[in-house]
Structure 1
């Protein structure tokens, strides 16, 4: 998935909504809109369907957030994260009938929202058939500045700037970052097609590298973090051209 995750914010307190929008944008998500009424949200969803709906239960219009979700779900299957300052049992039980992916009480911490969205993305990936076992094919979930990869039965975020290189191991790929290594159950060819091309280039049948991490370029290899990585003759010209343009 090469595009950003699209999130619609439906929140009647504009200061809170603006702060959420700034936070999500800084995390690499695309905010498709900030709306204060459920009726407006339903129209927006028809025209520009988001990947995730961040929905306050208390809204300014004639329908509240839960009613908005119920109407939306007749046509669309969009993951819902509820926000609410009124977390009483009646509203919580009403909200449960729409099967939300998360429920966040206001005021909330920035980390709570960030983790709720990451867990929602993880669940969507799992429900789309990308399982959690070592034998299942697990695609990375790619944002503008990071990728989510499965590690120890969960999806973890790896900043693109921290990735050094990726090495093929038969039908697996091993991502080497500044901090850890991550094993993906997919071929290097498939991963190459998904990674943002402005950051990465394939230099050998067994290696993809992060252009910004190259320390040295020699005749038949490059060096990244003291690791000598072979460069195929057929790919070296493209590598040199790319290095001249970044």
Structure 2
């Protein structure tokens, strides 16, 4: 039975959606109305599909949540919204949802789109809990344990891995890195992944790792704060 997370701020719609899914033998793991709680559920439970309303409670909207999921978890998702204007749709589609459903929905709409989303899900599309990564430095292959990493900085087509003792620059993009990192190595800014276990201090717009001050992006702020509070 596939596990589905619903992110919807309208209680009645969320309940209708839950009933429709359970009637067709899907397991609704949780219903949340904001991105922060959604990320906590994703980190705790095995989720096969997420249904996201674009307008949700909190400072992170559904499209921003979709971006975080795409970068950090690679879990397929479906948008569910009453907003059908072209500008919103174009922005939402940038993160490659499996489908885009307009409210009001029917049982057959939900069943068909959920089945298609799950059928097209690659076997390796869930987040891997890797403990290390192999990188090529100066023609040699080096194994880096993620627990030793302080942060990873994006510099164009290159990534800089920073540990307490060394730093390594490799040709790799963030989107390729995201499928290889454990949950505690998470994105906090468009240019930074950090090891949450190494954070010694954090405030609204920045955090500190081993004396290095790094920015927290607006899109990631609330989610990062919640994750740090639960480490």
- Asked whether the equivalents of residues 48 and 118 of structure 2 are also in contact (C-alpha less than 8 Å), the reply is no
Matched, 1:39 2:22: no
Other-structure match for 2:11: 14
Determine which of 2, 22, 37 is the counterpart of 1:5: 2
- Matches of 1:49 and 1:104, distance apart in 2: 24
CA RMSD, 1 decimal: 1.3
Q: Rg larger in 1 or in 2? A: 1
Other-structure match for 1:99: 96
- Matches of 2:20 and 2:105, distance apart in 1: 13
- Asked whether the equivalents of residues 53 and 81 of structure 2 are also in contact (C-alpha less than 8 Å), the reply is yes
Determine which of 109, 113, 132 is the counterpart of 1:112: 109
Displacement of 1:87: 1.3
Give the TM-score taking structure 2 as reference length: 0.52
Query: Which aligned runs of 4 or more in structure 1 are off by greater than 4 angstroms?
Result: none
- Matches of 2:70 and 2:120, distance apart in 1: 18
Other-structure match for 1:141: none
Unaligned runs of 5+ in 1: 130-246
| Higher normalized contact order (CA 8 Å, seq sep 6+, divided by chain length) | 2
Displacement of 1:47: 0.9
Determine which of 86, 90, 96 is the counterpart of 2:83: 86
- Matches of 2:55 and 2:61, distance apart in 1: 5
Deviations 1:179-220 (A, max 9, x none): xxxxxxxxxxxxxxxxxxxxxxxxxxxxxxxxxxxxxxxxxx
- Matches of 2:105 and 2:29, distance apart in 1: 22
Other-structure match for 2:62: 65
- Matches of 2:39 and 2:85, distance apart in 1: 25
Unaligned runs of 5+ in 2: 125-231
Displacement of 1:26: 1.4
Give the TM-score taking structure 1 as reference length: 0.49
